[in-house]
Amino acid sequence: MKATVHVTLKNGVLDPQGKAVEHALGTLGFNGIEGARIGKYIELDLAETNADKAETQVTEMCEKLLANTVIENFRVEVDG
């Protein structure tokens, strides 16, 4: 079973990597960039075949390792 996780910085948390990308795009001649935020995208292959159990397991992984819940939000999607 495959699961995907999006980890994004919470609103209000400074994102220097996003600022750097925004600036770099500007210097490359792309105008009209009003903001850029960079997050992580994680694809997991799980042996678990039950979607609910897989989602619970991946949520626990996010809380323990994949996301820093003080400054980051995460979103888990499981697809059969």
Q: CB 71 → a second copy: shortest distance, Å? A: 16
The 10 Å Cβ neighbour count of residue 3 is 21
The DSSP string of 7-27 is EEEPTTS--HHHHHHHHHHHH
CA proximity to 43, closest of 6, 76, 3: 3
Residue of the chain from 10, 13, 33, 69 that contacts a second copy (CB under 8 A): 33
How far apart, in whole angstroms, are the C-alpha atoms of residue 67 and residue 16?
Answer: 18
Residue of the chain from 11, 14, 16, 34 that contacts a second copy (CB under 8 A): 34
Q: Name residues contacting a second copy, limited to 37-66 (CB under 8 A).
A: 37-48, 57, 60-61, 64-66
User: Rule CB under 8 A: which residues touch a second copy?
Assistant: 6-8, 21, 24-25, 28, 30-48, 57, 60-61, 64-66
